[in-house]
Amino acid sequence: MKRNLHLLVIDPQNDFCDLPADYLPPPVGANAALAPALPVSGAHADMLRVADLIRSGRDGLAAISITLDSHHRFDVAHSSFWMDAQQGAINPFTQITAADVRQGKYLPRKASALPRVLAYLDALEAAGRYTLMAWPVHCEIGSWGHNVHADVRAAYNAWEDSALGMVGKISKGSNPWTEHYSAVQAEVPDADDDSTQVNQAFLSLLRGSDQVYITGEAGSHCVRATTEHIVASWDPRQLSQLVLLTDCMSPVTGFDAQYDDFVRDMRARGLQIAQAADIMPELLANARR
């Protein structure tokens, strides 16, 4: 009997990939040429390995899930949401605290948003997981940057055609008032928005697996947050069912230490740490069952 071997690919999207020139679309009309908004160094190579893993181990994979970072342009975690004390633009990759906002160092460009923003920052900081980062506008819904890396999509399309199955797509991040690194839940769930609450259906799907191989971008943020939430919901005696494929993920530049701490913590908790080649025998054996 075949085992349920599940591949989870977190945010394999163009905006996160350091794509070479031949992967970039040409300008259309008067529009500027497109380029990744938030490229993670090493992500393109990671995605090529993910695509090869799907192609080579296709018949051994029982399920594939893809998470999709999905934002509106107006978003509390985009730099264009904010202004400085002189009402000027702020630079992407600016960290903003509740104290900064109360002191007027940074303010939302939409004045009426101030009370909600302060409540959010207070709740975020109380959780102790992240400080708000004002990222460049990225993974805007409907944009090229929101699309899945071309090789990964081609590989999972071939899996769908062969398995007569469907790759699961999990959208996250469309609520503009909270950060949503994790595919399991937002950093500060919005009581009025079910999409920010714990995604029990997703967790239930994963719990039905014999192994879950975790890949994607970025290892320091969305992979980390998603994995931590999965681990919190998992039977601690069965954490070896979760496998981090570390050659299929990379950290955001400047967050290498956070990524290393994450991998070290997951290993200590009992997760398997492997590379794509390490699991290929398992996939090929499963294909022959």
Q: How does residue 174 score in pLDDT terms, banded at 50, 70 and 90?
A: very high
Tens of pLDDT, residue by residue over 226-278, are: 999 999 999 999 999 999 999 999 999 999 999 999 999 999 999 999 999 99
Render the burial of 226-236: b for 16+ CB within 10 Å, e for the rest: bbbbbbeebee
Alpha-carbon distance 181 to 187, whole Å? Answer: 7
Using CB atoms within 10 Å of the CB of residue 239, give its burial: 0 to 12 exposed, 13 to 18 middle, 19+ buried: middle
Phi and psi for 146 in degrees, rounded to 5? -75, -20
Q: How does residue 172 score in pLDDT terms, banded at 50, 70 and 90?
A: very high
Residue 285 makes CB contacts below 8 A (sequence gap 6+) with 60
Alpha-carbon distance 72 to 175, whole Å? Answer: 8
Query: Can you say how many angstroms the Cα of residue 237 is from the centroid of all Cα atoms in its chain?
Result: 26
Tens of pLDDT, residue by residue over 30-64, are: 888 899 999 999 999 999 999 999 999 999 999 99
What pLDDT shows up at residue 31?
A: 84
For the residues 182-189, what does the mean pLDDT come to?
96
Using CB atoms within 10 Å of the CB of residue 202, give its burial: 0 to 12 exposed, 13 to 18 middle, 19+ buried: buried
Alpha-carbon distance 53 to 276, whole Å? Answer: 7
The pTM for the full model equals 0.93
Tens of pLDDT, residue by residue over 106-118, are: 999 999 999 999 9
Residue 58 makes CB contacts below 8 A (sequence gap 6+) with 155, 158, 159, 162, 163, 287
What pLDDT shows up at residue 116?
A: 96
CB neighbours (10 Å) of residue 270?
15
For the residues 119-141, what does the mean pLDDT come to?
94
What pLDDT shows up at residue 130?
A: 86
Residue 73 has pLDDT above 90, yes or no: yes
Q: How does residue 128 score in pLDDT terms, banded at 50, 70 and 90?
A: confident
Of 198, 195, 201, 239, nearest in space to 65 by CA: 201
Whether the ω angle into residue 35 lies within 30 degrees of 0, i.e. cis, is no
